[in-house]
Amino acid sequence: MFEKVLIANRGEIALRVARACRELGVQSVAVYSTADAESAVVRFADEAVQIGPPAVGRSYLHIPSIIGAALKTGADALHPGYGFLSEDPYFAEICADEGITFIGPKPDVMEKVGDKATARQLMSAAGLPLLPGTVEPVNTLDEAHDISGEIGYPVIIKAVAGGGGRGMSVVHREEDLANLYQTTRATAQAVFKDSAVYIERYLETSRHTEIQLVCDSEGNGVYFGERDCSVQRRHQKLIEEAPSIHLNDDTRREVGEAAVRGALSVGYTGAGTMEFLLDLDGNLSFMEMNARIQVEHPVSELVTSVDLIQEQIRVAAGEKLSVTQDDVLPLHGHAIECRINAEDPDRDFAPAAGKLDVYVPPGGPWTRVDSHCYPGWTISPFYDSLIAKLIVWAPDRDRAIDRMQRALSEFQISGRGVKTTIPFHQRILDHPQFRSGDVTTDFVEQFMSEEAAAATAAG
Amino acid sequence: MFEKVLIANRGEIALRVARACRELGVQSVAVYSTADAESAVVRFADEAVQIGPPAVGRSYLHIPSIIGAALKTGADALHPGYGFLSEDPYFAEICADEGITFIGPKPDVMEKVGDKATARQLMSAAGLPLLPGTVEPVNTLDEAHDISGEIGYPVIIKAVAGGGGRGMSVVHREEDLANLYQTTRATAQAVFKDSAVYIERYLETSRHTEIQLVCDSEGNGVYFGERDCSVQRRHQKLIEEAPSIHLNDDTRREVGEAAVRGALSVGYTGAGTMEFLLDLDGNLSFMEMNARIQVEHPVSELVTSVDLIQEQIRVAAGEKLSVTQDDVLPLHGHAIECRINAEDPDRDFAPAAGKLDVYVPPGGPWTRVDSHCYPGWTISPFYDSLIAKLIVWAPDRDRAIDRMQRALSEFQISGRGVKTTIPFHQRILDHPQFRSGDVTTDFVEQFMSEEAAAATAAG
Amino acid sequence: MPEPKKSESANQELVRAVWEEARDLIKRLEGSTVQRFSVEAGDTKIEIERGMPAGASMVAAPAAAMAMPAAEDGAAGEPELDGRHPIKAPLVGTYYGAPQPGAPQFVQVGDSVEEGQTLAIVEAMKLMNQVQADRAGKISEILASDGDWVEFEQVLIYLEAAE
Amino acid sequence: MPEPKKSESANQELVRAVWEEARDLIKRLEGSTVQRFSVEAGDTKIEIERGMPAGASMVAAPAAAMAMPAAEDGAAGEPELDGRHPIKAPLVGTYYGAPQPGAPQFVQVGDSVEEGQTLAIVEAMKLMNQVQADRAGKISEILASDGDWVEFEQVLIYLEAAE
């Protein structure tokens, strides 16, 4: 096992990793910008190094400072968390060069799976289902015409280098293809410095379903069931749950095994997620792979009883996975996560950060709060607006919703200028369609227009 | 199910019950003394009634005021929590007379199991193992001599009406019997208004092991495994865990089934606990039954995945137990609870109450905090010194201890004059004997004298 | 939670000056009933909190002396708004202004009453708890009516000083 | 968290008076660098906290102007203890007082330096970052030595005003 792990991140995930280190008996090193000098992880970690000013370009994204901190403290491993440098092959390579174990896949593997087109090729080769479309970039308009014709409209043109909903256009009619093909390439070139695009069938409506997996360096892989993350606003996840009530045990095993096979086929090591779209007929299509731990990992932990961060650190240290596939299946009960953000739902989710004069998290049975906040902490405008991840577990989905409503009802957060998404979460959880579980990725949009309509009607 | 439940208690358990009500969709009514006007449950419950001054005799123990509050608010049921009126058959009877469902056993049953001698008779009849000794009160010194002779010294003389370690004397040599027999009776008469005593073998050292059970009104009973509560100081539990590593599955089933049989044999309904002593040869002996939910119930919840408070409310409402014996066995993983009190371990655990200027509970994976505290709350000298119950779960005992240490290390509590037992818990968890699990009820005493000795040696 | 970093962030002289004024401010509060006081001006907030015996700090204003003792709730005295004196419920129960149904009310607004005179009854579980005047005065207002459920320390009646 | 129950617990006049003094107190702090200030006298505590733009309120004092821009951390100015001016590390790395091993140190205690003059180097991943004087002055103290690991904004050198 490692002696000392440097955590190249901030906020709740930095604290989450530091907690895992403490429980494993591993020393932890926090790095922080001047804006985070009073942060929870700085207080909790065994050591802390100030690496730069608030601007991420000179702190959490500034490789020399982070490597410097690792060398200064003699850390033998580095956990990147999510975001920031977590999926940067170049950074992973530098860690290797400096003799620091990067807790994640090998740089070359990370690069492969990070490239959408390559990932699609590899995973389709490994037997994962894809949407009808190309796995190769589409380089000419004629090609685009032929392919779109074959697939059948609507189709979606996606930048190979894109992500998070950026660099994609939906084409409903053939006559729009030429124009959208050109503009998408142009945008891709401008935004991602890479004009390559591919084309696939566009699903009007579907569910975001993702498989969590962990592979060790001995070629063992285990999938930890799936998460449904269909409650999104502009591709930002708001509520995640595990398991998905739309997968039966057979489908789960099928896609889970395929996902592990795919990951092992490219020599993947560490924790990763395979994203799928689940259409209304129950067909899964592979979208992309995320080569990092994800924000929503706790719901998978609660239904599998496995600490995924500890597992991630173990396998990075060259240890064997501590569990087998049979240990984690069948999934145990139901877990839901709400992401509580410092945003004002009534003002189009505008950031509403500030000092938290009051911060009283919920407690009690099967109620988990992953947060870096405490009374007096200031949610800084320099970084994301996540205040807390509120996660509950219950024997079934209905009781999990009831428990989440209870927990949300006791969460007290206030401060000058601070607004949270708690009321929005409460209204979504109250919605009969959410209760029924029949939620697709366009649910939040519908929900918001329903509310807008009701508001107008009301007055 | 009930419409509205009045919670005749305060502190963490009142909040625990209110949370369960909210999750069940049942309205909750808090009652509070003027000292608790700002308490968490008063804020959280659907209604709150001020019933009296801080002194418990005129508030939480004042039956007319509590009944008055129930009638005022139209509550159809009442949850007594633990302590206060929770085991008062007279109070349970009054509730019945007023048409309020008391969430607990019927008054006559409560009375039976509340009387130690009767309980011992009933449970031995039901096949529960007892220590060698009398089940009948011992009314003359001659009797005492004969019985003690049979049992063999050392023996213990216990007041029938006693409890919590009061009203008992250990007799090591026959020549001490006469004196101790008389004084124990005298004390019992003085303290409990009942001089009846019984005599049984005294175990120099043993483990406190208790079986949690719930019975519904249809004659179904389920045991939820056992708890080891051997880490006690002067009969006050400090750390509890589930399961006990000293029971194997067969013994667990045997004693569990016997406990349920015993409870059903007296028509017991609701949640209850059977206390046993486990000697070093693995023999269990029934001690007494507690006809209430207990402080340490969360550890049983976490290893059985059942919400015992909800179960308690369900069966009181006439519903069937929501789980069968097979659902809760085998026990899942390991759970530990530390009771964090506002006491100064360095000053013989003297109360160290006051205003909590800083209160930041731990969070993260499998970390549960049951507490009524928040920043600015004042631990009042009028009531017990419990600040929080910190409970963790892990797949096995070792990892549960590691997790508890992590959680304790991040718990921040401070205020003028406030001290907590956190450092004491940390030192106990660090002790190799605790880690090994070989802990008996005299462990804390040994531990403290070890520390005292070390301190003297040091300086 | 972090201690103010005086050394770093404070101009020592200024701090000394402010300290002086702060002490004056505190003195003015001595002996007063103010427990907590706060002012905000723009971005600045000033807050004054005065300690009390732990148990009491959460305690509401005390009950007026009653047929039942109220001593042990040890709260601080409470201001008598516009000079009126509150008579409060000694426990949770049902309010009655008369000894029994149909009987005349104990008192009417405008009546002068002696210290110790019975003003009403609060019934809890068939127990009739007399509510007595803890001082002489004139009934200025009766807030409860027969059959009302009342909480502990709920104000039932206001007295004003007799001419 | 609970709002002060003025109506119940405060003597209105007194409050008004205290309020006035409090405002004076606040005015005295305007324009000063005091962010948080507290006094305790016996059981009474008075605390003054002044708001700042969110991001900044947690931010430590800024780095002195450096070869690398430090502007965007937008913190408040910091006091110059006994008039000395700190020169701080522009990033995490290894400190060198000389251009290369064996070469003479850039500066010695007592040297007078010009604004923009190189005083030291902080090396991070083979990158040599010059640490320059952001004002003219005299080297009063050098706190780091060759090979030291330094944090961002760690004070390396103190300047004093040149005669």
| pLDDT 10s digits, B338-392 | 999 999 999 999 999 999 999 999 999 999 999 999 999 999 989 999 999 999 9
pLDDT at B439: 96
With contact defined as 3+ CB pairs under 8 Å, the chains touching A are B, C, D
**Residue B201: which of B127, B148, B165, B161 has the closest Cα?**
B148
- For residue A319, the distance in angstroms to the closest alpha carbon of chain D comes to 30
**Unique residue bearing structure tokens 């739309």:** A246
Kindly report the nearest CA distance between residue D59 and chain A, in angstroms.
5
Question: Which parts of B193-311 are beta strand (E)?
Answer: 197-201, 207-215, 221-233, 236-242, 270-278, 284-290
Q: State the Cα angle at C24 between C18 and C26, rounded to 5°.
A: 100
Q: B277 pLDDT band (50/70/90 cuts)?
A: very high
Cβ atoms of residues B190 and B161 within 8 Å: no
Q: What tokens were used for D35?
A: 């962010």
The confidence band for B459, taking pLDDT boundaries of 50, 70 and 90, is: confident
Reply yes or no on whether the pLDDT at B168 is more than 90: no
Whether B201 is catalytic: no
In three-state form (DSSP H/G/I as H, E/B as E, the rest C), the secondary structure along chain D is CCCCCHHHHCCHHHHHHHHHHHHHHHHHHCCCCCCEEEEEECCEEEEEEECCCHHHHCCCCCCCCCCCCCHHHCCCCCCCHHHCEEEECCCCEEEECCCCCCCCCCCCCCCEECCCCEEEEEEECCEEEEEECCCCEEEEEECCCCCCEECCCCEEEEEECCC
Residue-level pLDDT at D39: 58
Under a CB-based contact definition with an 8 Å cutoff, are residues A375 and A357 in contact?
yes
What tokens appear for A5 in the block? 């792990």
pLDDT, residue D23, reads: 62
What residues 352-391 of chain B have any CB closer than 8 A to a CB of chain C?
A: 353-355, 358, 360, 378-382
Contact A37 D68 (CB under 8 A): no
The pLDDT assigned to A107 comes to 97
Which chains neighbour B (Cβ–Cβ under 8 Å, 3 or more pairs)?
A: A, C, D
Residues of D engaging A, defined by a Cβ cutoff of 8 Å:
1, 51, 54-55, 57-60, 63, 68, 70, 72-75, 91-94, 124-125, 127, 149, 151-154
Asked whether A128 and A282 are in contact (CB, 8 A), the reply is: no
Burial class (CB within 10 angstroms; exposed 0-12, middle 13-18, buried 19+) of A361: buried
Residue contact C15–D22, C-beta within 8 A: no
Phi first, then psi, for residue C84 (nearest 5°) are -85, 150
The pLDDT value given to residue C63: 28
Test mutation, B29, B32, B34, B384, chain C, max C CBs within 10 A? B34
For chain C, list the contacting chains (3+ Cβ pairs, <8 Å): A, B, D
For residue B192 the two structure tokens come to 């409990």
Tokens read off for B324: 């069968």
Of A224-233, B419-428, C65-74, the range with the lowest mean pLDDT is C65-74
d(CA B231, CA A80) in angstroms, rounded, equals 40
Predicted local confidence at residue A255, as pLDDT: 95
Q: What is chain D's pLDDT, residue by residue, as a tens digit (163 residues)?
A: 344 333 334 455 555 566 666 666 666 655 554 555 555 555 555 656 554 333 222 222 222 222 333 223 333 344 455 689 999 999 999 999 999 888 999 999 999 999 999 999 999 888 888 999 999 999 999 999 999 999 999 999 999 987 6
pLDDT tens per residue across all 459 residues of chain A: 999 999 999 999 999 999 999 999 999 999 999 999 999 999 999 999 999 999 999 999 999 999 999 999 999 999 999 999 999 999 999 999 999 999 999 999 999 998 887 888 889 999 999 988 877 889 999 999 999 999 999 999 988 887 666 788 999 999 999 999 999 999 989 888 889 998 989 988 999 999 999 999 999 999 999 999 999 998 899 999 999 999 999 999 999 999 999 999 999 999 999 999 999 999 999 999 999 999 999 999 999 999 999 999 999 999 999 999 999 999 999 999 999 999 999 999 999 999 999 999 999 999 999 999 999 999 998 999 999 999 999 999 999 999 999 999 999 999 999 999 999 999 999 999 999 999 999 999 999 999 999 988 887
Q: Which of B41-50, B108-117, C100-109: highest mean pLDDT?
A: B41-50
Angle at D37 between CA D33 and CA D39, to 5 degrees: 150
Counting Cα atoms < 13 Å in the Cβ hemisphere of B425 gives: 29
How far apart, in Å, do the first and last CA atoms of chain C sit?
Answer: 55
Instruction: Tell if the CB–CB gap between D21 and C25 is shorter than 8 Å.
Output: yes
Per-residue pLDDT at A402: 98
Distance CA D32, CA D28 (A): 8
User: How far apart are alpha carbons A186 and B399 in whole angstroms?
Assistant: 54
Q: pTM for the full model?
A: 0.84
Q: Which residues of A are less than 8 Å from D128 in CB distance?
A: none
As for the ipTM of the complex, it is: 0.78
In chain D, which residues touch B (CB < 8 A)? 1-2
Distance from CA of B231 to the nearest CA of C (A): 30
pLDDT-derived band at C19, boundaries 50, 70, 90: low
Sort out which chain B residues have CB atoms less than 8 A from D2's CB and list them. Answer: 38, 376
Which pLDDT band, with edges at 50, 70 and 90, does B120 fall under?
A: confident
- Residues with Cβ within 8 Å of A121's Cβ and at least 6 positions away in sequence, in order, are A135, A136
B3 secondary structure, DSSP code: S
Cα-based distances in Å from A142 to A148, A172, A178, B337: 10, 17, 9, 68
Closest CA to A345 of A385, A291, A305: A385
Please answer whether residues C96 and C35 qualify as being in contact, where contact means their C-beta atoms are separated by less than 8 angstroms.
no
Inter-chain touch D46–C47, beta carbons under 8 Å: yes
Rounded Cα–Cα distance for residues A225 and A222 (Å):
9
Peptide bond into A362 cis (omega under 30): no
- Catalytic choice (B16, B19, B120, B292): B292
User: Residue C22 — pLDDT band, cuts 50, 70, 90?
Assistant: low
β-strand partners of C87 = C157
Whole-number Å distance between alpha carbons of B21 and B18: 5
Residue B180, C-beta contacts closer than 8 angstroms, at least 6 positions apart: B157, B169, B171
DSSP E strands, B234-352: 236-242, 270-278, 284-290, 334-341, 343-344, 350-351
Q: How far away is chain C from the Cα of D19, in angstroms, using its nearest Cα? A: 7
Q: Which residues of A touch B360 (CB under 8 A)?
A: 374-375
Percentage of residues of chain C with pLDDT beyond 70: 49
Tokens of B427: 């030192």
Q: Are A66 and A84 in contact (CB under 8 A)?
A: no
Residue in A364, A400, A19, A330 with CA at minimum distance from that of residue B302 = A364
Question: Which long-range CB contacts under 8 A does D141-146 form with residues at least 24 apart?
Answer: D141/D84, D141/D109, D142/D97, D142/D107, D142/D108, D142/D109, D144/D95, D144/D97, D144/D120, D145/D95, D145/D97, D146/D95, D146/D96, D146/D97, D146/D98
In which residue are the tokens 């209105």 written?
A: D12
User: Is the Cβ–Cβ distance between B287 and B275 less than 8 Å?
Assistant: yes
Alpha carbons A51 and A34: distance in angstroms, whole number: 8
Nearest residue of B to residue C128, measured between CA atoms: B64
Collect all residues of chain A within an 8 Å Cβ-Cβ radius of residue B307.
365-366
- Please tell me the distance in Å from A102's CA to the nearest CA on chain D: 17
Pick from B50, B66, B380: CB nearest C54:
B380
Percent over 90 (pLDDT), chain B: 87
Instruction: Give the type of residue at A64.
Output: P
pLDDT of residue A326: 96
Would the CA dihedral through A285, A287, A290, A291 be positive or negative? positive
Q: Do C127 and B64 touch (CB under 8 A)?
A: yes
Residue D62's pLDDT is what? 28
**Chain centroid to CA C153:** 9
Distances (CA, A) of B305 to B18, B209, B330, B335: 19, 20, 11, 11
A38: nearest CA in chain C?
C2
Evaluate whether D91 touches D130 at the Cβ level (below 8 Å).
no
Residue A297 host element (H or E): helix A297-304
Measured CB to CB, residues of chain C less than 8 Å from chain A are: 1-2
- What is the token pair recorded at B62? 């004042």
Whether residues A363 and B375 touch (CB distance < 8 A) is answered with no
Name which of A95-109, B16-30, B90-104, C74-88 the model is least confident about.
C74-88
Torsion sign, CA atoms A20, A22, A23, A26: positive
Give me the pLDDT at residue B161, please: 80
Burial label, B213 (beta-carbon count in 10 A; 0-12, 13-18, 19+):
buried
SS3 labels along C17-81: HHHHHHHHHHHHHCCCCCCEEEEEECCEEEEEEECCCHHHHHCCCCCCCCCCCCHHHCCCCCCCH
Which two structure tokens, joined as six digits, stand for B104?
Answer: 């607990």
Which candidate in A16, A19, A373 is best for mutational testing of the B interface (most B CBs within 10 A)? A19
Pairing between strand B221-233 and B350-351? unpaired
The phi-psi region of residue B241 (left if phi > 0; otherwise alpha if psi is between -120 and 50; otherwise beta) is beta
3-state secondary structure of B356: coil
**Mean pLDDT score of chain A:** 95
